[in-house]
Amino acid sequence: MDRIRVRGGRRLEGEIEISGAKNATLPLMIASLLSAERLTLENVPHLADVTLLARILRNHGVDIAMEGKRSGAPPHPGETYHLEAREIVDTTAPYDLVAKMRASFWVLGPLLARCHEARVSMPGGCAIGTRPVDLYLMGLSELGAEIDVEGGYVVARAPGGLRGGRIIFPKVSVGATICVMMAASLARGETVIENAAREPEVGDVARCLQAMGARIDGIDTGTLTIAGVSSLGAARHAVLPDRIETGTYAMAVAATGGDVLLKGARAELLEAALDVLERAGVAIKPEDGAIRVRRNDVPLQPVDVETRPFPGFPTDLQAQLMALMTRAAGTSTIRETIFENRFMHVQELVRLGANITLQGDLATVRGVAQLKGAPVMATDLRASVSLVIAGLAAEGETIINRVYHLDRGFENLERKLGNCGAVIERLSS
């Protein structure tokens, strides 16, 4: 298994190109199941999760072609994918594929809407809490689906097709909102989704569906109104920039000190995180199509933060913020309100010399003068990258094991950081 070696203590200086958002790319690819015509996606990041989802979609009959690259073109500056689901050949999403990536469960909505039946394995994905699927099932039942759980599979049927309905989600869920919105776009009549997730990736998917011919109102708000249509057509859509990748590199610069231009980043996608960084003493300057992040020798100030659905501070940046706060001049508190058990990085950060105590959903981080490199291991995507950030700021060498987690969600991480002066390399085994 590959590992990453980081030698800490270097400031980051230079430019980092922000990739297309993983969390938008995955549902956008899934949206191709809704139409018999071609969906072209631009700015698709080169990630293990994207490759895996392509496999899953091919299984259902989606024809996927990647536009060829000219020789000499830089590696993976955003690929163009053409996806065409002329005919759905299989409405089952099997365990061995879905168990590897939770988002593949979202095929349930489009398959059900288009084929009136679907059989999808209960999901796997990052080990961050129980992550149930009750909200998906509730939403799709409201659209008239009959749902059973049999042998670890969700079996959904809508013999006469889905119909519009009114769904009031008791809890904000990105996945359930996307899944039900996709299904409703091909249902008969109008659907209203209340307490919908407002994450920018949900809006990106909604805009792509609109380009395919869906009729959706209230995009980027908590109430989505969808007038179902009988079929969707072809479209071309560019994936929005990855706000989690943006925030991650911003925190890396904050941790090491330095001055980096995050090219292609959009500040309005992560205001809450940028505000937290400013409170911590980091200079943030949105520029034309980019964000400049700078920290000189000013010490980091501690912060008190709670994760929240968008527009609040994202849970996907919680681990990275914690890595940053390990070196603040004082005590920070970080409360995780979205996922239970999303603190697996804590023990590993402690191995690097951090002083963190946990009490339920609250982490108290007492800043230390220096972290010291060590071998560490992570069990999920965002936790792994928090260890990279801590390693960059630590004295000496840090070896991060189980790099496959990083490859699921961060495109060219070593190259992007290495170009800014970090000493980071992959050790293949």
- 15-28 burial string, b = 16+ CB within 10 Å, else e? ebbbbbbbbbbbbb
Q: Return d(Cα 87, Cα 111) in angstroms, integer.
A: 11
| Minimum CB–partner distance for residue 252 and ligand UD1 (Å) | 19
Q: Which residue's CB comes closest to ligand UD1?
A: 175
> What H or E segment, with its residue span, contains residue 270?
none
Beta bridge partners of 295: 258
| Minimum CB–partner distance for residue 39 and ligand UD1 (Å) | 18
| Minimum CB–partner distance for residue 313 and ligand UD1 (Å) | 11
Q: Which residue carries 């009490």 as its tokens?
A: 359
Angle formed by the axes of helices 174-184 and 134-142, nearest 10° = 20
For ligand UD1, the closer of residues 259 and 275 by Cβ is: 275
Decide: helix, strand or coil at residue 157.
Answer: strand
For ligand UD1, the closer of residues 135 and 269 by Cβ is: 135
| Minimum CB–partner distance for residue 130 and ligand UD1 (Å) | 6
Q: Return d(Cα 402, Cα 138) in angstroms, integer.
A: 36
Strands of 34-163, DSSP E: 38-44, 63-66, 79-84, 92-93, 117-121, 146-150, 153-157
| Minimum CB–partner distance for residue 353 and ligand UD1 (Å) | 27
Q: Which residues bind ligand UD1 (CB under 6 A)?
A: 23, 26, 102-103, 129, 131-136, 171, 173-176, 197, 201, 315-316, 338-339
Establish how many alpha carbons lie within 13 A of residue 49's alpha carbon, considering only the half-sphere containing its beta carbon: 27
- In the annotation, is 420 catalytic? no
| Minimum CB–partner distance for residue 349 and ligand UD1 (Å) | 19
For ligand UD1, the closer of residues 102 and 119 by Cβ is: 102
For ligand UD1, the closer of residues 17 and 316 by Cβ is: 316
Regarding beta strands 235-238 and 38-44, do their DSSP bridges make them parallel or antiparallel, or are they unpaired?
parallel
For ligand UD1, the closer of residues 199 and 257 by Cβ is: 199
Q: Which of 126, 179, 208, 420 is catalytic?
A: 126
For ligand UD1, the closer of residues 35 and 315 by Cβ is: 315
Q: Return d(Cα 381, Cα 371) in angstroms, integer.
A: 22
Strands of 169-230, DSSP E: 190-194, 215-217, 223-227
**Token couple for 109:** 């909505």
Which residues carry out catalysis? 126
